[in-house]
Amino acid sequence: MNILVTGATRGIGRVIAEQLKSCGNIYATGRNEELLKTLEPDGYIVSDLNDDITELKQYITEKEIDVLVNNAGEYIYSNIEKASASDISKIYKVNLTSPTELISVAVPYMKKQKWGRIINIGSISGVMGEANASVYSASKAGLIGLTKALALELAEYNITVNTINPGWVDTDLGNTSIEESEFSKEEIIECIPQRRFVEPIEIANLTKYLISDDAKGITGQGINLCAGLSVGI
């Protein structure tokens, strides 16, 4: 397997990249070159999904990527009337438009060898909606729709497409999101049925399973890994 993980410098993406090293060649991308180096991947490319991603797309073709993990994401907490045009554009580009473009250049090689795995890291906010994060929720809901359609389009080529929808995750981004919200961590935990945040390793292990042959019949799914948050309180 030739695996590319976006947003691999920290948080969920870094843990995914570390866990998938045993599965094949790991290629990583992110904005911080020093952090990419410390991951010690088989290769890396510095790239910001909000900028021109032409070089990243060429890299995917050159490395014959057949496992694409679209993990990189952006989040803003803001009511809709205060969301700037640049914020809206950035959220959609990083969370939906760029992942779609990366898939489009990875698929030809996957089709050629009649095997591939595409894992999108979505969010429970794309399943349920999140007040004051409507742009973020919409971008992640778009990933779920993309996943369903592509699963149908690519099924005959033995390519699976799935989305993992984490709830609150114990990462720097998750904790920053709390700081930007009007709720404390304790108040948020009280709303989670399991009374805990999801650990990045749980998402990494699910990703590892979904790219395995044991999961070849799972495609087009949005899997909620949210400590019960999507079920109710």
Q: Give all domains of the chain, ordered by start, each with its CATH number.
A: 2-225 (3.40.50.720)
* Per-residue pLDDT at 212 exceeds 80: yes
- Average pLDDT rounded to a whole number, residues 1-14: 97
Alpha helix segments (H runs only) across the chain: 11-19, 33-39, 54-62, 85-92, 98-113, 125-128, 134-154, 172-180, 185-190, 200-210
Q: How far apart are CA 229 and CA 165, in angstroms?
A: 11
Q: Does pTM surpass 0.85? A: yes
Q: For residue 148, with 0-12 CB atoms within 10 Å meaning exposed, 13-18 middle and 19 or more buried, which class applies?
A: middle
Q: How far apart are CA 3 and CA 183, in angstroms?
A: 37
Strand order across the beta sheet in which 43-46 lies = 43-46, 25-30, 2-6, 67-70, 116-121, 159-166, 222-225
Q: For residue 54, with 0-12 CB atoms within 10 Å meaning exposed, 13-18 middle and 19 or more buried, which class applies?
A: exposed
Please report, for the chain, how many H helices and E strands are present, in that order.
Answer: 10, 7
Q: What is the pLDDT of residue 171?
A: 80
Q: What is the pLDDT of residue 177?
A: 62
Q: Any idea which residues carry the catalytic annotation? A: 136
- Average pLDDT rounded to a whole number, residues 212-220: 98
Q: What is the pLDDT of residue 65?
A: 98
* Per-residue pLDDT at 226 exceeds 90: yes
Q: Average model confidence (pLDDT) for the chain?
A: 94
Q: Using an 8 Å Cβ cutoff, are 166 and 189 in contact?
A: no
Token pair 């990933």 in the structure block, residue: 143
Tell me the pLDDT band of 173, cut-offs 50, 70 and 90: low
Question: pLDDT tens for residues 175-205?
Answer: 666 656 666 778 888 888 889 999 999 999 9
Tell me the pLDDT band of 233, cut-offs 50, 70 and 90: low
Question: pLDDT tens for residues 11-61?
Answer: 999 999 999 999 999 999 999 999 999 999 999 999 999 999 999 999 999
- Average pLDDT rounded to a whole number, residues 87-116: 98
CB neighbourhood size of 110 (10 A): 22
